[in-house]
Chain A
Amino acid sequence: SQQGEEDPQALSIQEGENATMNCSYKTSINNLQWYRQNSGRGLVHLILIRSNEREKHSGRLRVTLDTSKKSSSLLITASRAADTASYFCATGGGFQKLVFGTGTRLLVSP
């Protein structure tokens, strides 16, 4: 069964707008990762946040983690058409292998 569930399942915005995706998970974790998948391609790692971190930035990406609510969010600022992709959260903890969520499909229109 999936550990993480992303919300929304699909998101459509205009270039320049911000995109926010959320991930909820069920069990304790020691880290949460976000991956991106362009259509027909493999996943690419974006960012990792550890369980003792609350916020992390990488370029136009901002990730937050709230372990009390078992949730994380990924914010992409000033979106570009090239950001169109599916975004997955993946949770890891202890000896558990990474478990991926079902993904959010983001469409950024020019």
Chain B
Amino acid sequence: IAGITQAPTSQILAAGRRMTLRCTQDMRHNAMYWYRQDLGLGLRLIHYSNTAGTTGKGEVPDGYSVSRANTDDFPLTLASAVPSQTSVYFCASSRTSGSLDTQYFGPGTRLTVL
């Protein structure tokens, strides 16, 4: 594989259930990001990781958690899903955490919480 992969492609989830969205990159990028995209609101940063072993909160972190045990993987967990978390989720990575670096995006996960 080359680039970023996300799984699943789409998911319908009952409210209150736990869900983990997976993200893997093979570019050996240090920084990784999770965004949600909602109509009319563009992309909003949920959590980020500047390097393996570190994570940080973005603009809309509530209800989400992340971990970065290694360079390649950056899973996003919804501990107890709510309907307002219905969205399209994108994972991205960049070589460094600097804002001058290009971000590379995965294909997205479409999540519906009922």
- Chain A residues engaging chain B, CB cutoff 8 angstroms: 1-2, 30-31, 33, 35, 40-45, 48, 50, 88, 90, 92-94, 96-103
Contact between chains at B43 and A43 (CB < 8 Å): yes
A102 close to B102 (CB less than 8 A): no
B45 interface contact, C-beta 8 A? yes
B42 contacts A93, CB within 8 Å? no
Which residue of the partner chain B has the closest CB to A101? B42
Interface contacts (Cβ under 8 Å), in number, total 59
Evaluate whether A102 and B42 lie within 8 angstroms (CB atoms) in the complex, with A96-B99, A97-B48 already known: yes
What is the interface size of chain B, counting residues whose CB is below 8 A from a CB of the partner?
Answer: 24
Interface of A is mostly: strand
CB pair B108–A2 under 8 Å, yes or no, is no
Residues of A within 8 A of B44 (CB): 100
Closest A residue, CB atoms, query B100: A31
Q: Are B100 and A45 in contact (CB under 8 A)?
A: no
